[in-house]
Amino acid sequence: MTVSPRASVPVDARCGCGGNHFLHDHWEFLESMPSHPADWMSDLVKMGVYKSEALALATRLTEVDMREALLLKNISGGNPAREQFCRDLIREAGGLDQAMAAAFGVNAIEFFSNTIRTGDFSRREFLKRVAVAGALVAMASCTQEASQSGDTETTADAAAPVNLEKTDLKIGFIPITCATPIVMSEPLGFYTKHGLNVSVVKMPNWAAVRDSAIAGELDAYHMLSPMPIAMTMGLGSTAFPVKLASIENINGQAITVALKHKDTVQGPADFRGFKIGVPFPFSMHNLLLRYYLATGGLDPDTDVQIFPVPPPDSVAKMTAGEIDAMLMPDPFNQRAVYEKVGFIHLLTKELWDGHPCCAFAAGQSWIDTNPNTFRAVNKAIIDAAGYANDPANRVEIANALIERKYLNQPLPVVEAVLTGNFEDGLGNTQNVPDRIGFDPYPWKSFAKWISSQLVRWELMPTDKANYEQIAQDIFLTDLSAELQTELGQTPPSDPERMETLKFDSFDPADPAAYVAAQVKQFGK
Statement: residue 133 has pLDDT above 70: no
Q: What was the pLDDT predicted at 95?
A: 59
Residue 199: band (very low, low, confident or very high) from pLDDT cuts 50, 70, 90: very high
b vs e for 12-31, b when ≥16 Cβ sit within 10 Å of the residue's Cβ? eebbbbbbebbeeebeebee
Q: What was the pLDDT predicted at 42?
A: 57
- The mean pLDDT of the chain is 82
One DSSP character per residue, 3-67 reads: --TT-SS-SS---TTSSS--SS-HHHHHHHS-SSHHHHHHHHHHHTSS-HHHHHHHHH-------
Statement: residue 188 has pLDDT above 70: yes
Average pLDDT value for residue range 83-100: 59
Statement: residue 390 has pLDDT above 90: yes
What are the pLDDT digits (tens) for 250-270? 999 999 999 999 999 999 999
Average pLDDT value for residue range 435-460: 98
Cis peptide before 37 (omega within 30 of 0): no
**Beta-bridge partners for 199:** 170
**Residue 393 CB contacts under 8 Å (≥ 6 apart), including other chains:** 387
What are the pLDDT digits (tens) for 60-78? 443 333 345 545 555 555 5
What are the pLDDT digits (tens) for 397-429? 999 999 999 999 999 999 999 999 999 999 999
Q: What was the pLDDT predicted at 61?
A: 40
Average pLDDT value for residue range 382-401: 97
Give percent of the chain above pLDDT 90. 69
**Residue 366 CB contacts under 8 Å (≥ 6 apart), including other chains:** 216, 219, 220, 374
* Phi, psi angles (nearest 5°) of residue 122: -65, -40
Distance from the Cα of residue 137 to its chain's centroid = 32
Average pLDDT value for residue range 428-443: 98
What is the set of domains in the chain, with CATH numbers? Answer: 26-158 (no CATH), 168-243+362-412+445-522 (3.40.190.10)
**Beta-bridge partners for 410:** none
CB 341 within 8 Å of CB 326: no
Q: Which helix (H) or strand (E) holds 257?
A: strand 253-258
What is the Rg, in whole angstroms, of the alpha carbon atoms belonging to the chain?
A: 28
What are the pLDDT digits (tens) for 330-378? 999 999 999 999 999 999 999 999 999 999 999 999 999 999 999 999 9
Give percent of the chain above pLDDT 70. 69
Q: What was the pLDDT predicted at 80?
A: 63
Q: What was the pLDDT predicted at 18?
A: 44
Identity of the amino acid at 352: W
Statement: residue 122 has pLDDT above 60: no
Average pLDDT value for residue range 122-142: 54
